[in-house]
Amino acid sequence: MFFGDFGACLLVLAKRIIEYMSRGKNEIIRLKSLSKRYGVGDAEYYALRDINLTIKSGEFVVIMGPSGCGKTTLLNILGMLDRATSGEYDFDGQSVARISRRKQARLRSSKIGFIFQSFNLIPSATVIDNVALPLVYCGFGKTRRHKIASKVLGRFHLNEREFYMPGQLSGGQQQRVAIARSLVNSPSIILADEPTGNLDSRSSHIVMEELKEIHAQGNTIIMVTHNANLTTYATRVINMLDGTIFTDLQTVVDKGAVKKTKLEVKKSRRRVKERTKKVKKVKVKDAAAN
Ligand code: ADP
Ligand code: MG
């Protein structure tokens, strides 16, 4: 009996050691049973429910799912713009809950770049000032800030637009300026929330090619999109539903694998649609019964 318990303890210990050792050094994000609740009492609502997720450095993760399933909430928590209600979040090996707000802001500005659907450029500032903005928090002087911003804008062939105002640029150009701004601090991770949502297909293609290039340089990208075609850029496709991870497919960027992934994504989207329909039917029945 004693040896049975001892053996079980040893097994648990061995499992923990294996778990600990298998925590890759290149793991950048680890979520454990993470939930986000809004409201209280009858109005209580879980935007995220018990999410377990590990993302390694260098991955290109595409997150898909119907509107309202929690994609933006998840991205905001990953970017430390919002806090989870329960669960654990480790960023780069550190528990976010144990990092002060001030240090979180510092981490955010040095390691994370944000790209939003609506570009979020300051309309009254020039292109170069917009791109240089994150450097203000690093305490650099204006000349140095402009020098760095100009170099990044050069990568996007936007040098001749440096002193334009954002309103004088096309949507595609504005998003490329926003991408330049997200890169100006040389972050290791880019969080993009529907970055091509407001763009036509040609501008979308240009923006995605830029993101592909950034990924090829070793950066981690986590991108939310509604466009299934963009999964071709991903090394991993996550489908969310009702605040949970419904499917999580690792892919390799070769044509065969991409084709297979597209098929699997289509299948899982179909399953999501069917499930949503079923839930709606049940709700209608319930409403009728009441
Ligand atoms: P998605 O980006 O997938 O469309 P969101 O993450 O924006 O979804 O939202 C998930 C759910 O959480 C939605 O039902 C939304 O209404 C709700 N939600 C988001 N932000 C808030 C908030 N600040 N207060 C209350 N509910 C919210
Ligand atoms: Mg959203």
Atom of ligand 1 at shortest range from CA of 73: 6
Atom of ligand 1 at shortest range from CA of 224: 2
Please name the residue that has the structure tokens 């991408």.
179
Please name the residue that has the structure tokens 């097994």.
11
Instruction: Tell me whether strands 189-193 and 220-224 are parallel, antiparallel or unpaired.
Output: parallel
Q: 69 in ligand 1 pocket by Cβ < 6 Å?
A: yes
**What are the angstrom distances between the C-alpha of 137 and each of 133, 142, 160, 266?**
8, 12, 26, 43
Give the side-chain half-sphere CA count within 13 A for 139.
1
How far apart (Å, rounded) are the C-alpha atoms in residues 248 and 257? Answer: 15
| Domains of the chain, earliest start first | 27-91+102-289 (3.40.50.300)
Ligand 1 centroid from CA 126, angstroms: 32
Ligand 2 centroid from CA 276, angstroms: 18
pLDDT for the residue numbered 20 = 53
Task: Confirm whether pTM is higher than 0.75.
Answer: yes
Q: 67 in ligand 1 pocket by Cβ < 6 Å?
A: yes
Q: Which residue puts its alpha carbon closest to atom 18 of ligand 1?
A: 47
Q: 38 in ligand 1 pocket by Cβ < 6 Å?
A: yes
How far apart (Å, rounded) are the C-alpha atoms in residues 7 and 10? Answer: 5
Mean pLDDT by 10 residues, the chain (290 residues): 59 58 73 96 93 96 96 97 96 94 89 93 97 87 95 91 97 93 92 93 89 92 94 96 95 57 71 78 74
Ligand 1 centroid from CA 71, angstroms: 8
Residues sharing a CB contact under 8 Å with residue 207, sequence separation 6 or more, in sequence order: 172, 175, 176, 179, 195, 196, 199
